[in-house]
Amino acid sequence: MKKILWIALTALWVNCSSPALAGDAIATSAAQSLPILVYHQIATEGDDSHFGPVNGPISISLSKFETQLRYLSDHGFTTLSMDEVVSFLKGKTFPEKIVAIHFDDGLKSALKAVPVLNRYGFKATFWIIAGKGIGWPHMDWDEIEALARNPNFDIFSHTMTHPWKDDETLPDWIEGRTPGMGTEQVRWELTESRRVLEQKLQRPIPYLAWPAGKYNDKLIRLAQEAGYQALVTIDRGLNHPGDDPLRIRRSMVDGSCDHAAFVGILTNEPPAACYYGTHTN
């Protein structure tokens, strides 16, 4: 009995006192993190200048996008669907290197990304503006429905009209700063976009992306009342198990970010030169 006790105490001492072993344990528990990459316009030379230069604050060239996805593939990243993102936050175990790829606004140009995503077998989530975001420069319903038929792609809500201009965002509406807009108009943006998408796609729509990443606590409560179970932001940073599914972090990727900046986003060390949105309290 004394010998067994001595062995157990010795093992405990080794585990607690060895810097290498203790460090490894800490590293293992802290290593799992999830970057979510947000794209908007996927552009090629000669494209319409509706969204500015090919490599600008809301646009990235197809060639640069391809390079980034090749990097993810070459370095063994596994892409997650939104259901898997939520499961990760709840503690489900995934491979060591994980990432999620998102496309905001449902722009028609994002369809250029589809062959690249398919080439690598990557999953992706498309956030659709269900009212004003149908028809050029956004996708048509038949294009959205075709995306939804791909088992690797998600379609979820980005509201009905995507209010984003200064003094006209959803936080402005709910705080009474935009004439004629208030809680009822916010509620319609949230509930109607979910209803339209569910009707069109014949599937549940439990997730919402905030227009321009603008939100506050009042909006979160309204989104929950509207039936959303998780909400994505453009608050920069990585996600970890136990994080709040109502404040999921995502990092914008644009054409002004060089390759080092892209790699930095994956490790939460992006340079200040890249553009990122923040939420409104």
206-260 confidence digits (pLDDT tens) = 999 999 999 999 999 999 999 999 999 999 999 999 999 999 999 999 888 889 9
Predicted pLDDT at 62? 95
User: Rounded to an integer, what distance in angstroms lies between the CA atom of residue 73 and that of residue 10?
Assistant: 44
Both tokens of residue 209?
């992306």
pLDDT at 275: 54
Task: Decide: helix, strand or coil at residue 150.
Answer: coil
Helix-strand-coil percent breakdown of the chain, rounded to 5? 40, 15, 45
| pTM to 2 decimal places | 0.86
Query: At what angle are helices 141-149 and 183-201 packed, to 10 degrees?
Result: 60
Distance in angstroms (rounded) separating the CA atoms of residues 81 and 72: 16
CA distances from 191 to 130, 133, 185, 206 (A): 11, 16, 10, 11
Collapse the DSSP code of 254 into the 3-class scheme (helix H, G, I; strand E, B; otherwise coil) and give the result: coil
Contact 69, 61 (CB under 8 A): no
Confidence (pLDDT) at 48:
57
Length of the chain (residues): 281
Q: Residue 227 in contact with residue 194, Cβ under 8 Å? A: yes
Asked if 238 and 213 count as a contact pair (C-beta separation under 8 A), the reply is no
| pLDDT tens, position by position, 38-92 | 999 999 876 655 566 787 778 999 999 999 999 999 999 999 999 999 999 999 9
pLDDT band at 6; cut points 50, 70, 90: very low
Reply yes or no on whether the pLDDT at 131 is more than 50.
Answer: yes
Q: Tell me how far apart the alpha carbons of residues 271 and 261 are, in angstroms, rounded to a whole number.
A: 6
Q: Tell me the pLDDT band of 269, cut-offs 50, 70 and 90.
A: confident
How do strand 78-79 and strand 36-39 relate by DSSP bridges? unpaired
Q: What is the pLDDT of residue 57?
A: 77
Supply the DSSP string of 32-82, one letter for each residue: --B-EEEE-EEE-TT--GGG-SSSSSSEEEHHHHHHHHHHHHHTTPEE--H
Q: Is 167 left (phi over 0), alpha (psi -120 to 50) or beta?
A: left
**Domains in the chain: boundaries:** 1-31, 34-266
What's the CA gap between 264 and 271, in Å, rounded?
7
pLDDT score of 58 = 85
The class level of CATH for 34-266 reads alpha beta
Taking each helix axis from N to C end, the angle separating 217-225 and 183-201, rounded to the nearest 10 degrees, works out to 40
pLDDT digits (tens, 9 = 90+) for 18-44: 333 333 333 333 558 999 999 999 998
For residue 100, give the H/E element and its range. Answer: strand 98-104
CB 184 within 8 A of CB 155: no
Terminal C-alpha separation, the chain: 61
pLDDT reported for residue 190: 98
| pLDDT value, residue 270 | 62
CA separation, residue 154 to residues 84, 122, 163, 261, 265 (Å): 11, 12, 22, 27, 22
